[in-house]
Amino acid sequence: MNITFRQLRLFLALAETGSVSAAARMVHVTQPTASMGLKEITDTVGVPLYEVVARKVHLTQMGLELVKTARAISGEWETFEQQVHGIKGLTRGKLKVAVVSTAKYFIPRILGTFCEKYPEIEISLEVLNRDGVVKRLEENLDDLYIMSQPPLNIEINDEVFMPNPLMLIAPMSHAFAKKKTIDLTSLKNEKFIFREKGSGTRMTTDAHFKKLKFKPEVRLELGSNEAIKQAVIGGLGLAVLSKYSLADQDDIAIMKCKEFPIESSWHIVSPKGKMLSPIATIFKKHLLINKSLIG
């Protein structure tokens, strides 16, 4: 088979965007040129690679296999380019990082110091819920992934990055807000606002309460830390959130409860066997060295 590197990049763009026109824009060609290139790839392979249903592209099983191959080839080429730049004394290339939503409170700060040191590196940062990050991990779309609850059903390289204590919070007007110490038994009649099922915070909180045989009364489940904080401020209930989501939050009280904070950790994750690019290796070291900046 004779497929060019440019054609593989076009097919990857098709897989990522689900649209021929969007793929054309991504690789900076016209739509007719993209359509012709995709037809040439299909003709070369000799079996259908995708179909269009309701104006959306759906990859066939062989198309999915081609995507895996194209990503592997593209990744190896990017690593080679970075090695060449390293020999020349330059640091250029692209770093792709995916993080769970709570990490947005500190990762941009570390990325900022990294970009100051290596201004020619292009950064791609994906901020998603845990399920979204795990999906990208399964598809090997990024260099590194940062989360608090790594998946157990995927073979991964996993390194603990730093602590991620989960705090019990209440509105400042709550009767327990200024108490020196409380325990869980005093909260049996309280309403709780939790993150959605499947989030790292929710998984850790559920496991903690189960271990203590405490069954909280759940009033709301919300998909963002900001929404939960506003619900707490509004007096809808108590909540459990990461310490890092509570900085400069003057209208929320962190309650002094015997069973809190819940001990948790941030993890740096990558697929098992994945060889990190030179830039990803540098960034990982930067993360570990500069975590003190986060506070």
CA torsion, ordered 51, 57, 59, 64, to nearest 10 deg: 150
Say what the pLDDT of residue 56 is. 81
At 242-270, the pLDDT tens digits run 999 997 777 899 999 999 999 999 999 99
Inform me whether the pLDDT recorded for 89 exceeds 60.
Answer: no
More confident residue, 180 or 208: 208
Phi, psi of 264 (to 5 degrees): -145, 170
Phi, psi of 228 (to 5 degrees): -65, -45
**CA-based nearest residue to 61, from 70, 49, 69:** 49
CA distance 84 to 92: 10
Domains of the chain: 1-89 (1.10.10.10), 91-163+266-293 (3.40.190.10), 166-263 (3.40.190.10)
Say what the pLDDT of residue 179 is. 85
At 220-237, the pLDDT tens digits run 999 999 999 999 999 999
Identify the band that residue 4 occupies on the pLDDT scale cut at 50, 70 and 90: confident
Which residues does residue 166 pair with via DSSP β-bridges, in sequence order?
242, 262
Model pTM score: 0.73
Say what the pLDDT of residue 180 is. 85
